[in-house]
Amino acid sequence: MLIDVNEYLKTDFDVIFDVRSPREFEQSHIPGAKNFYVLNNEEHAEIGYIYKQISKKEASKKGLVYILRNIASHLEKTKDLYGKKILIYCSRGGKRSESLYTILSHLNLNVFRLKGGYKAYRSYVSDYFQNLPHKKFIVLRGNSGCGKSELIEKLTPSIDLEKLANHYGSTFGIRGVQPSQKMFENMLFEKIRKIDKNEYIFIEAESSKIGKLLIPGVLKKRMEEGIQVEITAALEQRIERIIKYYGNIDKKNFYANLEKLKKFISKSTYERLIENYNNENLKKVAEIMLLEYYDKVYKKKEADFSVENVDLKKSVEKLLEIKNSL
């Protein structure tokens, strides 16, 4: 059965097969999908070349050989699909998804095919963020290390932008490889679309970029217009959190990131950071970074509420009280 994106969003699928090449899949895909490629990277490039430069008929013939071989190989490794609701998509809803759909249909599996493929999905996601229906946000602000991320993790409904971006949102905030911009938007979309548009959503204040990734413009605007809550915490607690999140950074990355900050801090501050880091005094490094850099660059905004984060559980309760009072 051919379904459009709107129907996909209303349906719970047990399995989603992305039949595009591994390279296309790695760049971005529908969150939760598995790569059931019918043409691998090399085959996809080869068939594309033959189609454009030599012969459409030859490309179709050779492509079919590759497709049948790959599908057979995947099916041998795939666990029982009977009784499961399966969605299949390719780039534009063409031959690649049609091939797998036809074979699975002949096996009497409960299979659906996405009209317009991944391109239609991406178009829907882009339009969604241009016309974001969610307008109610409770934005947690505050100096670095005050525990905003920990609070977001405990609050419902909430969106953890830094987790989705795989970045802590600061110069030293690299967690690992970040997703592509499209993949970040896809994950954010799948998260936010399931939240009632009339609900207040907890979210952490961010600049327009988290690492290399841009927050969708309308969402950023809604965050700026949202209820602002200033989270505060004692310096000692903040230092402990900074060490927890950044204490395992390796020497090479520490120096590389510190070099980026060199023009924003004094020479004496830079030298003190180097000295204490070399002496393995991470507590002092964290203290200097907080007082001499992060606190100075933090742009404090007039807040609607303030919560002192001494005890995580009590802070969560206080924030939920604020939400319920709105």
| Mean predicted confidence (pLDDT) in 258-273 | 92
Q: Per-residue b/e over 17-28, b at no fewer than 16 CB within 10 Å?
A: bbbbbeebbeeb
Asked whether the beta carbons of 144 and 242 are under 8 A apart, the reply is: yes
Among 25-29, 45-49, 166-170, 256-260, top mean pLDDT goes to 25-29
- Domain 132-325 sits in CATH at 3.40.50
| Mean predicted confidence (pLDDT) in 294-321 | 94
Q: Which CATH class is domain 2-127?
A: alpha beta
For residue 217, the tally of other CB atoms under 10 A from its CB is: 12
- Residue with the two structure tokens 């100096």: 143
Q: What pLDDT does 79 receive?
A: 84
| Mean predicted confidence (pLDDT) in 181-193 | 98
Q: What pLDDT does 148 receive?
A: 96
Looking at the whole model, is its pTM more than 0.95?
A: no
Per-chain mean pLDDT for the chain: 94
Q: pLDDT tens digits, residue range 124-159?
A: 999 999 999 999 999 999 999 999 999 999 999 999
Question: Which residues belong to CATH 3.40.250.10 in the chain?
Answer: 2-127
Q: What pLDDT does 174 receive?
A: 65
Closest CA to 30 of 68, 78, 87, 76: 87
Q: What pLDDT does 171 receive?
A: 67
Asked whether the beta carbons of 85 and 15 are under 8 A apart, the reply is: yes
Any idea how long the chain is? Answer: 326
| Mean predicted confidence (pLDDT) in 247-269 | 88
Q: How far is CA 296 from CA 128, 241, 254, 264, 280, in A?
A: 36, 18, 20, 10, 24
Q: What pLDDT does 107 receive?
A: 94
Question: Which residues belong to CATH 3.40.50 in the chain?
Answer: 132-325
Distance, CA of 197 to CA of 324 (rounded, Å): 16
Rg (CA), the chain: 25
Asked whether the beta carbons of 84 and 15 are under 8 A apart, the reply is: yes
At 253, list the tokens. Answer: 């990355």
Q: What pLDDT does 153 receive?
A: 97
Residue 263: CB partners within 8 Å, gap ≥ 6?
none
